[in-house]
Amino acid sequence: MIQDLVITLVYIGYAMGMLLTFGAILTWVERKQAALMSDRIGANRAYVRLPFTEVKIVWMGLFHGMADGLKLLLKEDFRPNTFDRFAYNLAVWLAFVPVLLVFAVVPFGGTLDPGQLIPPLAGWFEGRTYSMQIAPIDAGLLVVFAFAGISIIGAMLAGWASDNKFSLLGALRAGSQLLSYEVVLALTVLGLILIYGHVDLRAIVEWQSGTVLGFLPAWGIVVQPFAAILFLTASIAENKRMPFDLPDAESELITGYITEYSAMQQGMFMLGEFIEIAIIGALFTTLFLGGYNLPWLTDAGFLLPGGELIALPHALVVVLQLLTFLAKMALVCSFQILVRWSLPRFRWDQLLRFAWTWLLPLALLNLAVTALAVWAIG
C-alpha cells in the first residue's frame, strides 16, 4: 500500500510542477507569440546580469515571467474594506484550486512499471504497475465537469465580496457566461461519449490508439472534427479569454471581478487563467488528439503496420509518452494564444447569443448526427 502512496505522491508532484511551469512559461509564450504575430521583437528587456561582469543573460526574455512573479509577490497588498472578508479571501482559492484538481483524472502517460524503471527498487514494488494518472476514476470526464463547476462559484464570489460595482458586473457576466458555455461544452462531449462508450479518460485514450480507414489514427479530431471545434470554442469561453473576455474586460470593467484584488491574490487569478490554458490543452489532447498516443507506439515499443515490432526499453517508452503528451498540450496552448491575438472581443449580448443561438443548436445537431451514425453503424 505504501508503494501506491509513493507513486501517487510522485504523480501529484509531477502534475503540480508541470502545471505551474506551464502557467509561468505561458505568460512568456503569450508575449513572445504576440510579438511574433505582430512582427515585433517582443519581450526581451528582462535579463539577469552575472555579478561583477557586464554579461547579461536575456534568453529571449524568458526572465519576464520571473520579474512578474517577483513584482506580484512584493507589491503592497491593497484590500478593500469589504463586508465579507472571509468570502473575499476564499474566492481566490475557490477559483484557483479546482483548475489544478481537474488534472487529477487526466492520464498523462501509459503504464508505468517502477520496478523495471529503477531496478534496485524492483523487490520493493513486487512487480506492481501503475497507469500514469493521479486518480484512475471510472467517472473521469464527469469529475472534470464537476470541478469546473466549482470555479464558477469562485469567480462570482470574488465579484460579490469585492463590494465594487465593476466587480459585481464582472461577476454577473462571469456567472452567466460560464453557465451558458458549460452547457455547450457538456453537450459537445456527449457526442464523444457516444462514440467512445466510456467516461473514463484512460479508456478514452486507449480507444484512440487504434486506426480508422486503416491509416488514420483514430483520434477524436478525426472521428468528431466538428465537436473538436465546438469544444475548443466553448473552452476558450470557459477560460474567459479573448474573444470571450467580457467578465474581466480591462477597457470596460477594469478587469471585472479581479479589480479589487492586488499583489499575489491578483496573481493567483492570473496564474489560474494561464494554468487553465494548459488544462484545456491537456483535456483537448486527451479527448481529441489521442492523449499520450504516438502513432504505432505501444507500451512495448513501435508496432509498425506490417506487424513488425521495434522493441524499446521501458524507460524510453515512458519518456516518449510523457513528451508526446506535453508536445500536444503545448501545441494546443499555442493555438489558444493564436486565437487570443487574432480575434476582437465580442459585445456582451453577442456573446450570450452566440452561445445559445449558434453553439447550442450546433452542439445538439452534432449530438443527433453522432447518435444516428453510431446507431446505423451498430
Partner 1 sequence: MSLVDILIGFFTVSAIGGGVVMLLARHPMRVALALIATMLSLAGVYALVGLHAVAVFQVFIYVGAVMVFMVYVIMLLDIGDRRALHRYGRVLWPAIAAGGVLVLVLGHLGWRAGASLPPASAGNEGTFLVQPFSAAFLANWWLAFELASVVLLVAVLGAIAVIQGSRRHDG
Residues that bind partner 1 (CB under 8 A): 1, 5, 83-84, 86-87, 90, 137-139, 142-143, 145-150, 152-153, 156-157, 159-161, 163, 168, 171-172, 175, 179, 198-200
Residue (67 or 135) nearer to partner 1, CB: 135
- Least CB distance from residue 171 to partner 1, whole Å? 6
- Least CB distance from residue 180 to partner 1, whole Å? 12
- Least CB distance from residue 107 to partner 1, whole Å? 16
How far is 123 from 234, CA to CA, in rounded Å? 48
Residue (89 or 298) nearer to partner 1, CB: 89
Residue (185 or 318) nearer to partner 1, CB: 185
- Least CB distance from residue 189 to partner 1, whole Å? 13
Residue (175 or 247) nearer to partner 1, CB: 175
Grid coordinates given for 343: 480575434
Distances (CA, A) of 365 to 178, 193, 227: 21, 15, 10
Residue (147 or 269) nearer to partner 1, CB: 147
- Least CB distance from residue 310 to partner 1, whole Å? 36
How far is 40 from 68, CA to CA, in rounded Å? 21
Q: What are 112's strand-pairing partners?
A: 130
How open is the CA angle 318-106-288, to the nearest 5 degrees?
A: 90
How far is 128 from 8, CA to CA, in rounded Å? 13
Residue (178 or 227) nearer to partner 1, CB: 178
- Least CB distance from residue 34 to partner 1, whole Å? 33
DSSP string, 258-302: GTT--HHHHHHHHHHHHHHHHHHHHHHHHHHS-TTPPTTB-SSEE
- In the block, residue with C-alpha cell 473576455: 245
- Least CB distance from residue 176 to partner 1, whole Å? 8
- Neighbouring CB atoms inside 10 A of 221's CB total 19
How far is 158 from 256, CA to CA, in rounded Å? 10
Residue (142 or 254) nearer to partner 1, CB: 142
How far is 278 from 19, CA to CA, in rounded Å? 7
Would you call 102 exposed, middle or buried from its count of C-beta atoms within 10 A (0-12, 13-18, 19+)?
Answer: buried
